[in-house]
């Protein structure tokens, strides 16, 4: 029958994508599942099957647990500020009253175009040498305030870099969302006597809620995977205060040569990210506002 032939021949078109995707994504995913059940050390040719031992050990590994805590702190901080600041900037830069809008948009967006690796290197210098140098001008170079050297503060300093990096992206998305709001709704509100505050809070923001939700989901998904910034800026230190989950996995596999263990941790990471993203989707869908 012609339709069956067409059905299969069209599906044949999907072969290139399927093939490469299966080889480089699905197969590694499956083999990661298998590796997490072994004790492979990355160098040897053979390894032993150890069942769920890696998963159990991880739960008792204080470094693993602390890396989860560090990652959550980082992600919460970054997501909240990226969305909040992005929203404020988007509102401002969508307003007719602000001048130089093209310049401002470009300026805030520019860091997004650069790679995390490159900006990490520069910010390491800024937080360390440049900051001390500036303090030195007023003779305060020995102050105890340290961006990257204070274990309680370091993870938030890294967060500042991530925020600087991605802020423009969410600002742009929100700006697009703002322009999508039909002008008759705003006009209707004005006719009803609403001022700037009321228009923003009772009309713009609720209509923008889905977009804000999308930004939050993207920002969270991105920051939960933080690797380059802690890797380059602090090597997970001081101590382990900036060792994120992704960095923990990298270290376990490539520094401590415990590949099986690292794969198990990576599966925990997958579960965690899925859980967070699904929870966020739930919230966004529930709070969606119709007008």
Partner 1 sequence: MKRRALFGLIAAFTLSMVAVNPCYAQKPVTLRLVQWKTEAREAIEDIIAEFHKKYPHITVSMEIPGQYDSYIQAKAAVNELPDVVGLYGTGLFDYAKSGLIQELTGAPFLSRCTPFSLRATTDQDGRVWGLPIDGSAIGVYYNKSIFQKYNLEVPRTMAELEKVCTALRKNNITPFALAYKDAWTIKMAAVTCYDNYVYGPYPDWTELRDRGQVTFAGSPEWRQVLDALRFILSNGNTNTAFETDYDTAAVMLATGKSAMLVQGLWALVGIRSISPEMDLGMFAMQAFWPDAKLVHFTDLCLCISADTKHPSEARLFLDFLTQQQAALTWCRGARLFSAVKGVKPDFDPITGDIFAYIDRGDTTTVHDRTWWSSFNTTFEKVLQEWMVGSTTDAEALKKLDDLWDRAKASGNR
Partner 2 sequence: MLSILLVMIAVAYMLPFAFAVTSSFKSKAEILLSPIALPRSWSVRNYVEAIKRSNFAISLMYSLTITATAVAGITIAGATAGYAIARSHSALSLALLSFFGMSMFVPFQTIMIPLLRTAMSLRIVGSVPGLILIYIGLGCPLAVFLYYNYMRAIPRALEESAVIEGCTHLQVFRHIMLPLARPVTGVVAVLQGLWIWNDFLLPYLILQKPLTIPLNQVYFYHSFNRDWNYIMAMFVLSTVPVILLFLCFQRRIISGLIAGAVKQ
Provide the binding-site residues for partner 1, judged by CB under 8 A.
39, 41-44, 62, 127-129, 132, 141-144, 146-151, 234-241, 251, 254-258, 261
DSSP code per residue over 266-283: HHHHHHHHHHHHHHHHHH
Spatial contact of 158 and 91, defined as CB atoms under 8 Å apart? no
Q: From the list partner 1, partner 2, none, which binds 144 (C-beta under 5 to 8 Å, kind-based)?
A: partner 1
Q: From the list partner 2, partner 1, none, which binds 239 (C-beta under 5 to 8 Å, kind-based)?
A: partner 1
Spatial contact of 188 and 273, defined as CB atoms under 8 Å apart? no
Q: From the list partner 2, partner 1, none, which binds 256 (C-beta under 5 to 8 Å, kind-based)?
A: partner 1
Closest CB 191 distance from partner 2, rounded Å? 26
Closest CB 132 distance from partner 2, rounded Å? 7
Nearer to partner 1, 10 or 115 (CB): 115
In eight-state DSSP terms, residue 237 is -
Torsion of CA 29, 32, 33, 38, to 10 degrees: 170
Told to check if 65 binds partner 2 by CB under 8 A, we report no
Q: Which of 64, 77, 147, 259 binds partner 2 (CB under 8 A)?
A: 259
List binders of partner 2 among 124-153 (CB under 8 A): 125-126, 129-130, 132-134, 137
Tokens of 189: 């509100």
Piece in contact with partner 2 (CB under 8 A), picked from 44-52, 60-68, 93-101, 151-159: 93-101
Piece in contact with partner 2 (CB under 8 A), picked from 45-53, 150-158, 194-202, 261-269: 261-269
Closest CB 240 distance from partner 1, rounded Å? 6
**Which stretches of the chain are DSSP H helices?**
2-12, 15-21, 27-35, 53-60, 62-94, 101-109, 116-125, 131-137, 154-179, 183-191, 196-198, 205-224, 228-233, 245-250, 259-286
Determine if residue 8 is left, alpha or beta; phi over 0 gives left, psi from -120 to 50 gives alpha, anything else beta.
Answer: alpha
Closest CB 117 distance from partner 2, rounded Å? 4
Told to check if 100 binds partner 2 by CB under 8 A, we report yes
Q: From the list partner 2, partner 1, none, which binds 92 (C-beta under 5 to 8 Å, kind-based)?
A: partner 2
Under DSSP, is residue 49 helix (H, G, I), strand (E, B) or coil? Answer: strand
Residues paired with 49 in a beta bridge: 38
Closest CB 267 distance from partner 1, rounded Å? 19
d(Cα 192, Cα 206) in Å, to the nearest integer? Answer: 17
Nearer to partner 2, 14 or 289 (CB): 14
């Amino acid at each position: 029958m012609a339709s069956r032939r067409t059905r299969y021949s069209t599906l044949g078109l999907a072969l290139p994508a399927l093939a490469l995707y299966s080889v480089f994504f699905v197969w590694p995913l499956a083999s990661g599942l298998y590796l997490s059940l072994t004790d492979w050390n990355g160098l040897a040719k053979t390894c032993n099957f150890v069942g769920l031992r890696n998963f159990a050990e991880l739960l008792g590994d204080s470094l693993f647990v602390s890396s989860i805590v560090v990652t959550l702190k980082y992600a919460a901080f970054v997501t909240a500020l990226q969305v909040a600041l992005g929203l404020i900037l988007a509102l401002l830069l969508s307003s007719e009253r602000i001048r130089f809008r093209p310049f401002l948009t470009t300026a805030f967006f520019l860091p997004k175009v650069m790679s995390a690796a490159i900006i990490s290197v520069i910010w390491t210098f800024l937080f360390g040498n440049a900051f001390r140098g500036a303090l030195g001008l007023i003779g305060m170079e020995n102050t105890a305030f340290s961006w990257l050297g204070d274990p309680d503060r370091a993870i938030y300093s890294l967060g500042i870099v991530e925020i600087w990096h991605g802020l423009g992206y969410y600002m742009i998305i929100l700006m697009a969302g703002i322009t999508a709001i039909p002008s008759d709704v705003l006009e209707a509100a004005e006719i009803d006597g609403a001022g700037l505050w009321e228009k923003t809070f009772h009309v713009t923001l609720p209509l923008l809620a889905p977009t804000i939700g999308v930004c939050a989901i993207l920002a969270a998904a991105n920051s939960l995977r933080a690797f380059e910034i802690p890797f380059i800026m602090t090597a997970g230190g001081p101590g382990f205060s900036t060792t994120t989950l992704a960095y923990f996995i990298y270290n376990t596999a490539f520094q401590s040569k415990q590949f099986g263990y690292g794969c198990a941790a990576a599966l925990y990471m997958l579960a965690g990210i899925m859980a967070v993203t699904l929870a966020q989707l739930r919230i966004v869908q529930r709070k969606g506002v119709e007008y």
